[in-house]
Chain A
Amino acid sequence: MATFQVWLVSTLVSAKPIGRLMHTRWGWPAAESIHFLGLSLLIGTIVLFDLRLLGMARRISIAALHKLVPWGLAGYATNLISGSFFLMAEPDQYIYNPAFHFKMLFMAVAGFNALSFYVIAARRTMGPGAEEEVPRAARIIAATSILMWIAVIVCGRLLTFYRPGGCGPEGPGFLAYCIPQIKRF
């Protein structure tokens, strides 16, 4: 895994124009601002949908509320792009950062969780002849979604508190939490 991380860092850092852009006076702050706008758009729409599945605002049709989900996806895409810019500008600050590892883990769970909604619950909650009561599976998915997105936000904020330093003489271990002392670029 550590070998893969080293390769990933060297690959990401090769996106030099992005790195240069991010290291201009306003590059980093601008990307952060965009990242936070995308976050708010995602939370504001996806969490509303999850809350509806959990029983809030029952008089709003689930199918109608689902029309806000593409806006959440737009926020997600915005953050995928702005997030990748941070990664290309300072890869070792992320690839060797435990907060980043957890953030990716929670994002993956949130992603599979969202997919599972469409596979097992979408038809029963918003298709023709959808049941009045939201099935238990859909409610579990909704609660998982809210928890995972909060966890993603928290891990994002923890990134700066778990900045990796250089590895000691014992080396990086299986999953590196420190910057290996080898020629990186």
Chain B
Amino acid sequence: MDPFLAWLELTTFSTWVRESPSVFAFPAILSCHTVGMGLAAGINAALALRILGAAPGIAIHEMKRFFPVMWFGFWLNAISGVVLLIAYPTKALTNPLFYFKLALVAVAVALIGPITRRVFGNPDPMPAPIGRHVKRLAITSLVCWAGVIISGRLLAYTYSRLMQGF
């Protein structure tokens, strides 16, 4: 028994998210988490695909205009993710896969800076061909985001404890 998690699970907010029959409780938060996933992982994937040679006509440095939408998706997921964690803290925190997912998110986010500095930094109308190093970063980014999605999905199947005392 962890006293903090036991307390957290009994708070009004945690109970509401978990047990409210309202569609605006758990279902709405899960929906936000999925839309945010599509925006965050999807827009990062679109940039990675462009770096790897898809749609070469796209002025790559102009793709930075789409990144506020990517960050919107990311923060939507950070917030909805915390809410889901408050609803079922034991379920996530006792599952090693949850930490693996967080580590992959950390790597994927850490890659955004190095990738975007290299491809958004140069507004040259005739940019130099994209180097092998950036392409390797793009592949790593794709793998990380795919890993985040898959491990997130598998959290529903791999937990050993649902709540304190269960």
Contacts and interface: CB of A to CB of B under 8 A. Distances in A.
Contact of A158 (B27, B63, B149, B150): B27
Interface in A34-52: 36-37, 39-45, 47-48, 51
A57 B65 contact: yes
Contact of A60 (B26, B45, B63, B157): B63
B136 to A, nearest CB: 20
Contacts of A41: 42, 45
Contact of A40 (B23, B42, B65, B154): B42
Interface string B28-48: 001100110111011111100
Contacts of A71: 46, 49, 54
Interface string A6-49: 00000000000000000000000100110011011111110110
A65 B31 contact: no
B157 A36 contact: no
Which of the listed residues A39, A51, A56, A60 has the most CB atoms from chain B within 10 Å of its own CB? A60
B57 A67 contact: yes
Contacts, number: 116
A59 B62 contact: yes
Contacts of A33: 149-150, 153-154
DSSP majority for the B interface?
Answer: helix
A91 B146 CA distance: 28
DSSP majority for the A interface?
Answer: helix
25 contacts: A29-B153, A29-B157, A36-B34, A36-B37, A41-B45, A42-B42, A44-B39, A44-B43, A45-B42, A45-B49, A47-B38, A47-B69, A51-B66, A57-B63, A57-B66, A60-B59, A67-B54, A67-B58, A71-B54, A153-B31, A153-B34, A154-B34, A154-B35, A157-B34, A158-B23
Interface of B: 23, 26-27, 30-31, 34-35, 37-39, 41-46, 49-50, 54-59, 62-63, 65-66, 69, 145-146, 149-150, 152-154, 156-157
